[in-house]
Amino acid sequence: MYAPRIQDLLSRGEKVFRIDAVTVGVSDCDLIAEIVAARPVLSTERSVFKPAAGADIHHDSATRTIRALGQDVMAGIRTPPPAARGLSGAWPYAATTYMRRWLFSSDPLPVSLLSKRGVTRSDTLSRIVDRAVTVWPGSDAEGRSTALAGRIRDASGIQERRQAIALYRRATATLCDGVAALAGNALWLMGPAREQEAARADLTAVLWETLRLLPPAWMLFRKGGDAYTGLHPEIRPEDRVALFPLLMHRHLDYWADPLDFRPERWAGVADPESTPAFMPFGFEGARCWAKHLVVPLAERLLTVAFDNRLVIRSPRQETHIPLRSLLSVRFDAEVGACPDRRTP
């Protein structure tokens, strides 16, 4: 059950349509490719690397952040996962907290507070924590903090530290929220026989099919249509352009049985992202920088869930997918429970 505005989009038959007075929606594969090629992505159109602390994020800073996060993920997945009981509760929030504990629990206070859900949901608390970390980011005298936290500690000045704090918050949230949403969506889509399916399924294929039906980059905004006016008569210079992988991934022109969950369609596909009409992580220049980390981590998380007999308790047949930046299924789950055959 989608939020009404998403459901309205899914009910549209046309591939180019006006959403409001200044926004045009596009789900046509060829037109999306032309729009993508028309101009580079603006800094304000990025997500993690949009301007922070009143200044642009330079390419070298972004590159160092990506490398630091990659180091932390590789170090984290080499360690045993936390106690699986942390996966019990409301998903995807339980899974997000679990991933943060798995990958970033070594960070000192107050850095570890930067990504706590209770802090990030409050603007006031976020500002207080940001100021505290700016003054005292903690130490890693024992050499146990993450490389991402090290970027904050080693900043050469206040402005650089503020940007490092913003990037820590954005990077950890993007990674952990994305992994939790992808794994949770896959659990739901696998249906009542998920344990039996997991025993014989290619979990990587399961995740790619999940990305097709519920892509993390489900909608991408581009500001100003002046670069796109010659591409389609519906697009005017003053328009914003909204690209919809979610709709493209579900269109009969591009996919056989597009609404069916069929992981086997990815069997033998060496490079899924080269598949026509498929861009789950965005496009070149605006592609999710963590894409090479999200799928392997989601596969690890699913393996932990199956090994510890995670059971979805509620809702039983249908769930609500709200209008959020990530389209993530909401459900309650319990680790080590006896499966209820009535529960999907």
User: pLDDT for 163-174, tens place per residue?
Assistant: 999 999 989 998
**Res 102: pLDDT:** 94
**Res 77: pLDDT:** 84
**Res 246: pLDDT:** 95
Per-residue pLDDT of 261-307, as tens digits, reads 999 999 889 899 889 999 998 876 666 777 789 999 999 999 999 99
**Angle at 259 (CA atoms; ends 254, 260), nearest 5 degrees:** 110
Q: Tell me if 288 sits within 8 A of 298, measured CB to CB.
A: no
217-221: long-range contacts (C-beta < 8 A, 24 or more apart)?
217/245, 217/279, 217/280, 217/281, 217/282, 217/288, 218/244, 218/245, 218/246, 218/327, 219/243, 219/244, 219/245, 219/246, 220/245, 220/282, 220/283, 220/286, 221/45
**Res 343: pLDDT:** 41
**Res 344: pLDDT:** 38
Question: Of 190, 163, 215, nearest to 49 (Cα)?
Answer: 163
Weakly modelled stretches of the chain, pLDDT under 50: 341-344
- For residue 248, which amino acid is it? M
**Angle at 163 (CA atoms; ends 161, 166), nearest 5 degrees:** 110
In this prediction the pTM is 0.90
